[in-house]
Amino acid sequence: MTVVTPIGSARSAQPDLGRCTIVTAEEGVPLVFGGRVEYANLDYAASAPCLTPVAEALSAALPHYASVHRGAGHHSQVSTDAYERARRSVSRFLGARTEPADAVVFVRGTTDALNLLARAVPQGCTVVVFESEHHASLLPWEHPASRAGSVVRLPLPESPRAAIDAARAALAAAPRGPRLLCVTAASNVTGEIWPVEELVAVAHAEGARVVVDAAQYAPHLPFSLRDTGADYVALSAHKLYAPFGSGVLAGRADWLQEAAPYLAGGGATRLVTEHDVVWNDLPARHEAGSPNVLGAVALAAACDTLTPRVQELLHIRETALVERLRAGLAEIGGVHELSLWGEDHPRVGIVSFVVDGIPADLLAAALSAEYGIGVRDGLFCAHPLTRHLLPRGHGQAVRASLGIGTTWEHVDRLVGAVADLVERGPRWEYADADGRLVPVPDPR
């Protein structure tokens, strides 16, 4: 059966969340068979669409845009005020500590944030990280520019308790001195939520610090440095409904203050002479160059919109949508969901799966071209984890990820489309074009 729904007939799953809406194209997307449908965006984990209040905040800031901190003009002062207010909004959103004050450094995203921290840890710091991490969390510590010493990669844990025990053992066995545990708050492959508070507790008991990759967690649930006890947190604005090239590293200031600037250049300097450079203090120390003012304003607007109450309501709604999606896929023969800790473990709105007999790239291409559904296919920049979870005979998976704009109809359309494709296969021809499968011909 074909389950594509015409534009305007979708039933929303969204409770009353006021202005917590997204910017989207009203005209829908074209299909290879002709006609258009409302776009079923199920790729939020890759990059989320823009929140309406974020777009409004940018529109308000643009007329006054100017370079910050070093300009005497009125627009420069207005932009500087907006930039620093954005920092305070992000600080509140992340539950930053005030005594002593956590640093909030604007960066390009989670990858940038963790590379910054890798260059700021004390020289020779032991870093413990699970192989289940996204590459942004897994790889920076072994980069030639990293100040880390030994990097301990822990195998995929069989349970949350196994993760806690493995982290404790690895940190206890590490040489005395600076040690850092890097862990995700929610998997970008399975959506499963990690036991952050318990991991922080065992790390602190061993005298180690913890950095949390909250890129996939923060768009769905509140995260607090103060409440979790985590020492650092990194996230990306483009996953938090503010896709304008910003991100943040927030946490304890001492390591960041003692490290050399992440980049050398204007803004990071206090004084430059013929023979010497005096570097700035935080946060300017690690924000060399002209900052992404509009990206910071966008991130702050998202943080101000996604209050704990709003996120609570969104999570309730999202949980129902995820349960519907998982239950629907489970009824289709040959569909296998990827999971590290079992179907009952708490998760955010991410479901990865494979379909016997249909390669992941072909499935994703057909879902887009024939049904107007956007999903992700591949190994999701978490190759060790995804490869471990894939059933025999599968080289990649498909990931459906939900967010503010997801409706019941989007979920039902995906389930129906997968059932369609399992029953009779794609109805169009597809061929490789620069590493991606595309419809041939493509009349769209």
pLDDT tens digits, residue range 397-422? 999 999 999 999 999 999 999 999 99
If you write DSSP's letter for every residue of 274-307 in order, what string do you get?
A: SS-EEE--TTGGG--SS--HHHHHHHHHHHHHS-
The yes-or-no verdict on residue 9 having pLDDT over 90 is: no
145-171 confidence digits (pLDDT tens): 999 999 999 999 999 999 999 999 999
The enclosing H or E element of 163 equals: helix 160-173
pLDDT above 50: residue 180: yes
Which run of H or E residues covers position 120? none
Confidence check: pLDDT of 108 > 70 = yes
Which amino acid is present at 299? L
Identify the three-state secondary structure at position 19: coil
Please give the share of the chain, as a percent, with pLDDT higher than 70.
96
Distances (CA, A) of 247 to 171, 200, 230, 363: 29, 23, 18, 32
**Residue 14: what pLDDT?**
46
Residue 379 has pLDDT above 60, yes or no: yes
The mean pLDDT value for 15-24 works out to 78
Whole-number Cα distances in Å, 249 to 106, 263, 375, 441: 7, 15, 28, 45
User: Taking the chain, what is the end-to-end CA distance rounded to the nearest angstrom?
Assistant: 22
Q: Which H or E run includes 396?
A: none
**pLDDT tens sequence across 316-348:** 999 999 999 999 999 999 999 999 999 999 999
DSSP at 185? S
**Cis bond leading into 160, ω under 30°?**
no
pLDDT at position 194 is 98
pLDDT at 15: 47
pLDDT of 26: 86
**Cα 110 from Cα 93, distance rounded (Å):** 16
User: Which pLDDT score, from 0 to 100, does residue 16 have?
Assistant: 53
What is the mean predicted confidence (pLDDT) over 269-293?
95
Gap between the Cα atoms of 17 and 374, Å rounded: 24
Active site residues: 381
Instruction: Name the 3-class secondary structure at 35.
Output: coil
pLDDT over 90 for what percent of the chain?
A: 94
More confident residue, 20 or 136: 136
- CB contact at 8 A, 19 and 52: yes
Q: Is residue 312 over pLDDT 50?
A: yes
User: Over the chain, what is the mean pLDDT?
Assistant: 95
Average pLDDT over residues 79-91: 97
Query: Would you say residue 373 has pLDDT above 70?
Result: yes
Residue with tokens 């952050």: 196
| CA pair distance 331, 411, nearest whole angstrom | 14
Does pTM surpass 0.75? yes
* 217 confidence band (pLDDT: 50, 70, 90): very high
pLDDT at residue 229 tops 70:
yes
pLDDT on residue 70 = 80
| Sheet arrangement for strand 179-184 | 103-107, 247-251, 232-236, 209-213, 179-184, 125-130, 148-154
